[in-house]
Amino acid sequence: MKIYVCIKQVPDVNAPLQIKDGALIQDADRNILNAYDASAVEAALVLQEKHGGEIEVVLIGNDKARETIRKALAMGADSGVFIQEQIDTLYDSYSYASLLAAFFKDKEYDYIFCGKQSQDTDAGLTGSMLAELLGLPFVTNAVWLEYSGNSLTVKRQGDTGQEVIELPSPGLVTCSNDMNDPRIPNLKGIMQSKRKPVETISVNELGADRLAVKTTILGYEEKPAREPGKKYEGEPDEIARQVARLLDEAENVI
C-alpha cells in the first residue's frame, strides 16, 4: 500500500503575534508541522504498521520548511518530496491544490492523506480541491480509519453526528486532529530521518507559470470586542418576563 501525506509548515499558533497597519506580524522563527497534518502522518503510520506499505510526505514551502519534512520522517515516514515555492508568492488553497494535483497526476498510490485544515488560515479547502482536481473520491474530517481488502472504512465527524463511509482506492482523506495523538520522534527516528531520501522539485517544473491565485488578502484586523451583556435585577418571575419579552420582541427567537 502506497500512501502520500500532504503536509505544511505553519507558524506556531502559540508564538507572539500582532496586527500593525493591517499586516499580521508573527515570530518568523517559530514554525512547526501543522497539527492536523501530524495526525494524518500518524494515521498513515498506524496503517503501515498493520498492513505494510510505503509512506511518502509532500510539502510545498520555502527552504526553512525542509526541517518540517524531517520531522515527519523522524516520526516514521519513508521518504519526502520538497516542492520549493517561489519567493514572495502568496499561495492560497486553490494554488496549493493545483500544484499538488500537477505533482500527483503521473503518480501511483492507494491513498492521499491531508490534514483537514491548516492552523495558519483554517480554510480547510485544499484537500477537497485536490480531490476534485484529481477526480478522486474523498472523505473529509476523518476521526477513525481501518483498511480491509482494497478499501478504507472511514468514520468522519459531521455536523450532527458521525458517519461511516467506505472509500475505494485510490482516494483521498482529510484527517481531524481528534483522530489520534501523533507520536513524538525519538532519538533513533531523528537520526534515521537524516538518511532518508528527500526529492526537491521547483514549482516551475509543475507549471507554476500558469498558477492561478484566486484569493487576495486585503488586510488583518483585531477581532471586535464582544458587546456587554444585559443585566436584570428584581424578582425571578419579573426577570423571566423581561428576558422572554426581549427574546420575542428584540431578538425574534420566540
14 within domain boundaries: yes
Domain that holds residue 45: 2-210
CATH number of residue 139's parent domain: 3.40.50.620
Comparing CA positions, the residue from 69, 63, 67, 87 lying closest to residue 4 is: 69
236 within domain boundaries: no
Residue stretches of the chain with pLDDT short of 70: 26-28, 87-88, 208-210, 251-254
223 within domain boundaries: no
| Beta carbons within 10 angstroms of residue 94's beta carbon | 19
Q: Length of the chain in residues, anyone?
A: 254
244 within domain boundaries: no
Structure confidence at residue 218 (pLDDT) = 82
239 within domain boundaries: no
Comparing CA positions, the residue from 39, 35, 19, 16 lying closest to residue 27 is: 16
The domain tally of the chain equals 1
Tell whether omega for the bond before 197 is within 30 degrees of 0, i.e. cis: no
- The pLDDT tens digits for 179-232 are 999 999 999 999 999 999 999 998 888 876 557 778 887 888 888 888 888 788
247 within domain boundaries: no
Q: Phi/psi class of residue 205: alpha, beta or left (left: φ > 0; alpha: ψ in -120 to 50)? A: alpha
15 secondary structure, DSSP code: S
Structure confidence at residue 19 (pLDDT) = 77
Kindly give, in sequence order, each residue whose CB lies less than 8 Å from that of residue 30, ignoring residues fewer than 6 positions away. 11, 12, 15
CA angle 170, 175, 179 (to 5 degrees): 125
76 within domain boundaries: yes
